[in-house]
Structure 1
Amino acid sequence: MSSKLKYIAGFAALAAATAAFPAFAQEEAAEAVVEVASGAPAADTVVIFNTLLFLIGGFLVMWMAAGFAMLEMGLVRKKNASMQGLKNIALYAVGGIMFWFTGYNLMYTGVDGGFMGSFGPYVFPGPGMDDGAAGYSVASDWFFQMVFCATTASIVSGTVAERIKFWPFIIFTVILTGILYPITGSWQWGGGWLSEMGFSDFAGSTLVHSVGGWAALAGALVLGARTGKYAADGSVHPMPGSNIPLAVLGTFILWLGWFGFNGASQLAIGSIADAGDVSKIFVNTNLAAAAGAVVTMILLQIVYKKVDVTMVLNGALAGLVSITAEPLTPSVPAALFIGGIGGVIVIVVVPLLDKLKIDDVVGAIPVHLVAGIWGTFIVPLTNDGTSFGTQIVGIVAIGAFTFIVSFVIWFILKAIMGIRVSPEEEEMGLDKSEVGVEAYPEFM
C-alpha cells in the first residue's frame, strides 16, 4: 500500500472512531464550550488554575534566593564570597523547615483578629485527600507562603556580611523565620488585628521587606561596622565588591522573581478578571522597577557626575519593593511615581547611613526597610480601601516589634557566644576562617 493510501485509511479510521463516541461526550464538550464562553469555569478548573498560580509564583520567588545569593556574592569582597553563598543556601533550608515546624500555623491558624496563631508543625492532607475546598491545593499555598518567609532572612544576610560568624547568624535565622516573621505576618495576612483595622500590604513591602530590613538594622547596630570602613576623621573607606557582573545577574533574577512575588499574591487566577489583574500587576511591577533604576541613574549623574552601577541595581530593587504593597490599583503614571521615589530613597539613604556609621554592605536597609516603609505608606494614594493613618499604625507596630525583639536577640547572641569574628579572621576573610573554601583561590 502506498503512503498516500495509508493516510486515507488512517483518516477513515479516525472518522469512524469519532462517530462512535457516545452522545453524552458531545454534550459535555458543548457544555465546556459554553463554560469558557460565559467566563464561568467549573469548580475543579478554578482550583487547578489557582494552584498553578501558587506553584509557579512560588518557584519564581524561590529563584529569588539565587538572585540574593548572586547579588551578595558580587557585592562583597572576594575573600568573603563563599561565606555569602553558604549563608544564602543555609537560610533558605533553615527557613523552609522552620516555616513547616511552627511558622505557618503561627501565621495562619487560629489568629482570629488577634496577635498570633498557634504553635506546632503544619499537617498536610494525605495523598488524594485534598478536596480543593479552599479554592486551591493547601500544599501549594504553604509552599508559596514559605518562600516569602525565606526571602525575609535573605535581606538580613547582605547587611551583616563580611564580619558575622556563621552559626549565630543561623540561630537568628531560626528565630526570625520560625517566630518573628510569622507573628507580624499574622497581624495582616493571617486575619489579625491589623487586618481588622483595614491595614493593607498586598505582597509585603512591610510584612516581608521592612521586617527583614528592621532585623538587618538591629544586627548592623549590635555587630558594628567592618574594620577600616569608617576612619576617625569621619571619612568613609570604600570597599568595592568583587564581581559586578554577578551582582547584575542577581538583580535581573530578583526582578524576574518579583513577578511571582507580586503577581501570585493576587491568590487567584481562576477567572478572566483575576487573569487580567495578575497581568496588570506584572505591568506595574516592571514599570516601578524601571522607574527606580532610571531615577537613580539621573540623580547619580546630577549629584556625583558618575553613574554607579551598584546604586542603579539598588534603585531598581527599591522600585520593586516600593510597588509591592499595592501593585494592582495604581495607574501607569502612579506606578512610575511610586517606583521612582524608591530610586530617590537609595540616593538619599545610602550616604546617610555612612554619616551615621551604619555599615550596610549591600544596601539592604535603604532598599528593603526604607523603600518598604514608603511603599506601604503610599498605598491609600491609589487604594481608597485604606487610610494613611491605618498604614502608619501598621508600619510603626511591625517596625517597633521587629526591631526591638531583633535587637534583644542579637544582643543575647553577642553576650553568650559572640557574633563577630576576630580582627585577624576578618582581615583573612571569612572564606578561609569560617568556610574553609575560597571562592576565587587563584586570585587570592
Structure 2
Amino acid sequence: MFRRSSTLLFSLLGFTLLGTALAQDAPLAETVAALEAQLAETNFALESLFLLFFAVLVALMQPGFALLEAGLHSAKNVVNIFMKNIADFAVAGLAFWAIGFGLMYRDGGQIFWFLQGYESDFAVSADFFFQMVFAATAATIVSGAIGGRMKFSAYLIFSAVMTALIYPFMGQWQWGGGWLSDRGFYDFAGSSIVHAVGGFAALGAVLAIGPRLGRYAGGKVNAMPGHNMALAGLGVFLLWLGWFGFNPGSQLAFASTGDATAVADIFVNTNLAAAAGALAAMVTSWLLFKKPDFSMTINGILAGLVGITAGPDVIVGAWAALTGAVAGIIVVFSVLLFDRLRVDDPVGAISVHGVCGIWGTLAVGVFAPSAANLGVQLLGTLSYSAGALVAGYLIFMILKALIGIRVSPQEEIEGLDIAEHGIEGYIANDQLGAPVVLQASPAGD
C-alpha cells in the first residue's frame, strides 16, 4: 500500500516539475536536477519519520521492563521498581542528550556536546532519539537485578553515569567507528553493546550490593517468588513488541524496495528466535521441574530476542529459530547456576541479557561466518562483558563508600515503597476508610 502510494506521489511530483519546466522552457537538465533534489528531500523526511516510529516501539520496552520487574518482585517494592524505570528514561533523556550521544559518536577528538555540530543522514533529532532509547534500555536492565534492596538516590547516580559515560564509551568501540569496528566485529542491534553491557553491569552491581535478606539463609536457596505473574507476562509481551523497533529499526534505511524487504526479513527472524526461545525454555523447565515453569518461559522469550539481536539480518530462517532455541535452553541453566553461586538476581537479568548476549554475538560467527569471524566476535563480546562488569562493580563500590547503596535491614523488610517513597503500590481495603452504607428512605419520603 505504501509503496504504491509513494510511487504515485513521486510520479505526480515528477510530472508536475516536468510540466512546469516545459511551460517555462526550462532546460531538461535543470528539471532533472530539481526533481532529484525534491526526491532527496522527500526521502530524507521519510527515513527520519520511519526512524522515529521505530524509536517509539523501542520506547515501549521501558514500561515492558517495569511491568516484568514489578511482577517478579514482591508487592512491597512495586512503586520503587516503577520509579527506577521512569527515572532511567528521564535521566537518559538528559544525560545522553548532553554528553552520551556526542561521546559515543565522537569524530576523532571532537565530542558533540548537546548534539551541537553533529551531522546525520537523518534529522539529527531523530537519530539522537533512536539512540537514546537504546541507552535507556542498557541502564534499565540493571534495575531488576538489584531490586528490593538499593537506595533510590544511589540508583539515580548510577543511571546518570551509565547513560552519560559507560554505555556511550563502550558503544563507541563498534557503533562509533572505534577499535572493534576496525577489526570487523559485528553486532547489528546490540546483543553485546546493549544487552551484555547491561547484563554484566548488573552482575557487578549485584556483587557489590549482595543478596536480599533471607535469600540464602540456612545454607540453602530460599524461594522468593514474584507477586504478580500477570504483570510479568504483560511486560514480556510489551518487550516482544518493542523488539520489532529494536532490531528492524537498526537497519537505518527503510524507504527503498531493498531496504523495506530487509526490514521485513528482520521482523520475521526476530520473531522466530523469540518463539523458539519460549518453547525451548518451556520444555527445558518441564523436563527439569516436571512442570512448565512460567518465569523460565517468559525469560526464554527474552533470551531468544537477545540472542538474535546481534545478527537478525544475517542469521535467517531456521538458523534464527535455532539461535533463539539455544538461548532459551542456556537461560534456564544460567539462572540455576547463578543461584547456586549465591548471586541474587530476582529477574534473571544477568542470564537473559548478559549470558545470552554473549551467545547471540557468537552465533553470528557460527551461523553467518561470512558476516563476521568467530574469533573477532569472541574478542568483542568478552571485551564488552568484562568492561561492563568492571565498570558496574567499580561504580557501585564507589557509591557504597561515598553515600551507601543499600537500605537498612528494617527498610528492606518493610519494603522500599514505604521506606523510599512513602506510598504503597497496593492499598488494602481496610485502609480505604469505613465503607459508606446507603439506607433506603422510609416509605412516603
Give the TM-score of the pair, scaled to structure 2: 0.87
Paired residue for 1:141?
A: 127
- 2:18 and 2:244 map into 1 onto residues whose CA distance is 44
Are the counterparts in 1 of residues 364 and 371 from structure 2 also a CA contact under 8 Å? Answer: no
What is the letter of the counterpart of residue 238 of structure 1?
Answer: A
Question: Given the superposition, is the C-alpha separation of residues 331 and 438 from structure 1 closer, same or farther in structure 2, using an over 3 Å criterion?
Answer: same
Are the counterparts in 2 of residues 105 and 121 from structure 1 also a CA contact under 8 Å? Answer: yes
Paired residue for 2:47?
A: 50
Q: How much does 1:231 deviate?
A: 2.3
CA RMSD of aligned residues (A): 2.2
Are the counterparts in 1 of residues 70 and 232 from structure 2 also a CA contact under 8 Å? Answer: yes
Secondary structure of the structure 2 residue equivalent to 1:378: helix
- 1:22 and 1:433 map into 2 onto residues whose CA distance is 67
What is the letter of the counterpart of residue 336 of structure 1?
Answer: A
Paired residue for 1:60?
A: 57
- 1:56 and 1:119 map into 2 onto residues whose CA distance is 25
Question: Given the superposition, is the C-alpha separation of residues 111 and 212 from structure 1 closer, same or farther in structure 2, using an over 3 Å criterion?
Answer: farther
Paired residue for 1:261?
A: 246
Aligned mate of 1:163, from 134, 149, 164: 149
Paired residue for 1:403?
A: 389
- 2:229 and 2:382 map into 1 onto residues whose CA distance is 35
Are the counterparts in 1 of residues 103 and 169 from structure 2 also a CA contact under 8 Å? Answer: yes
Describe the superposition over 1:154-182 as per-residue Cα deviations: whole angstroms up to 9, x where unpaired.
10000000001101111111111100000
Question: Given the superposition, is the C-alpha separation of residues 57 and 436 from structure 1 closer, same or farther in structure 2, using an over 3 Å criterion?
Answer: same
- 2:121 and 2:287 map into 1 onto residues whose CA distance is 51
Q: Is residue 353 of structure 2 the alignment partner of residue 356 of structure 1?
A: no
Are the counterparts in 2 of residues 124 and 139 from structure 1 also a CA contact under 8 Å? Answer: no
Equivalent pairs: percent with the same residue? 47
Paired residue for 1:108?
A: 105
Describe the superposition over 1:111-158 as per-residue Cα deviations: whole angstroms up to 9, x where unpaired.
48xxxx627322279xxxxxxx84321110000000000000110000
- 1:270 and 1:367 map into 2 onto residues whose CA distance is 33
Question: Given the superposition, is the C-alpha separation of residues 119 and 46 from structure 1 closer, same or farther in structure 2, using an over 3 Å criterion?
Answer: closer
Counterparts of 1:20-31 in structure 2, within 5 Å, are 24=19
Q: Is residue 314 of structure 2 the alignment partner of residue 321 of structure 1?
A: no
Q: How much does 1:382 deviate?
A: 1.5
Are the counterparts in 2 of residues 124 and 138 from structure 1 also a CA contact under 8 Å? Answer: no
Q: How much does 1:410 deviate?
A: 0.7
Secondary structure of the structure 1 residue equivalent to 2:97: helix
What is the letter of the counterpart of residue 122 of structure 1?
Answer: L
User: Where do 4+ consecutive residues of structure 1 move more than 2 Å?
Assistant: 25-28, 117-121
- 2:195 and 2:145 map into 1 onto residues whose CA distance is 13
Paired residue for 2:8?
A: none
Are the counterparts in 1 of residues 200 and 388 from structure 2 also a CA contact under 8 Å? Answer: yes
- 1:412 and 1:195 map into 2 onto residues whose CA distance is 31
- 1:415 and 1:341 map into 2 onto residues whose CA distance is 40
- 2:112 and 2:392 map into 1 onto residues whose CA distance is 20
Paired residue for 1:204?
A: 190
Q: Structure 2: which 5+ residue stretches go unaligned? A: 1-15, 33-37, 432-445
- 2:127 and 2:326 map into 1 onto residues whose CA distance is 32
Are the counterparts in 2 of residues 288 and 323 from structure 1 also a CA contact under 8 Å? Answer: yes
Counterparts of 1:4-43 in structure 2, within 5 Å, are 24=19, 42-43=39-40
- 1:237 and 1:438 map into 2 onto residues whose CA distance is 25
What is the letter of the counterpart of residue 268 of structure 2?
Answer: V
Paired residue for 1:6?
A: none
Paired residue for 2:440?
A: none
Paired residue for 1:367?
A: 352
Are the counterparts in 2 of residues 156 and 213 from structure 1 also a CA contact under 8 Å? Answer: yes
Secondary structure of the structure 2 residue equivalent to 1:173: helix
Counterparts of 1:379-418 in structure 2, within 5 Å, are 379-380=364-365, 381-418=367-404
Counterparts of 1:283-302 in structure 2, within 5 Å, are 283-302=268-287
- 1:383 and 1:136 map into 2 onto residues whose CA distance is 31
Q: How much does 1:99 deviate?
A: 0.4
Describe the superposition over 1:15-73 as per-residue Cα deviations: whole angstroms up to 9, x where unpaired.
xxxxxx99816999xx9xxx9xxxxx932232122112210110111111010011111
Secondary structure of the structure 1 residue equivalent to 2:173: helix
- 1:139 and 1:121 map into 2 onto residues whose CA distance is 11
Are the counterparts in 1 of residues 204 and 391 from structure 2 also a CA contact under 8 Å? Answer: no
Aligned mate of 1:428, from 392, 411, 414: 414
- 1:373 and 1:81 map into 2 onto residues whose CA distance is 30
Aligned mate of 1:88, from 74, 81, 85: 85
Q: How much does 1:386 deviate?
A: 1.5
- 2:337 and 2:348 map into 1 onto residues whose CA distance is 11
Q: How much does 1:229 deviate?
A: 0.5
Q: Structure 1: which 5+ residue stretches go unaligned? A: 1-20, 36-40, 126-132
- 2:17 and 2:240 map into 1 onto residues whose CA distance is 51
- 1:22 and 1:276 map into 2 onto residues whose CA distance is 30
- 1:299 and 1:382 map into 2 onto residues whose CA distance is 26
- 1:71 and 1:26 map into 2 onto residues whose CA distance is 60
Are the counterparts in 2 of residues 111 and 186 from structure 1 also a CA contact under 8 Å? Answer: no
Paired residue for 2:235?
A: 250
What is the letter of the counterpart of residue 102 of structure 1?
Answer: I
Q: Is residue 268 of structure 2 the alignment partner of residue 273 of structure 1?
A: no
Are the counterparts in 2 of residues 156 and 215 from structure 1 also a CA contact under 8 Å? Answer: yes
Paired residue for 2:205?
A: 219
Question: Given the superposition, is the C-alpha separation of residues 22 and 206 from structure 1 closer, same or farther in structure 2, using an over 3 Å criterion?
Answer: closer
Paired residue for 2:3?
A: none
- 1:22 and 1:313 map into 2 onto residues whose CA distance is 55
Q: Is residue 218 of structure 2 the alignment partner of residue 232 of structure 1?
A: yes
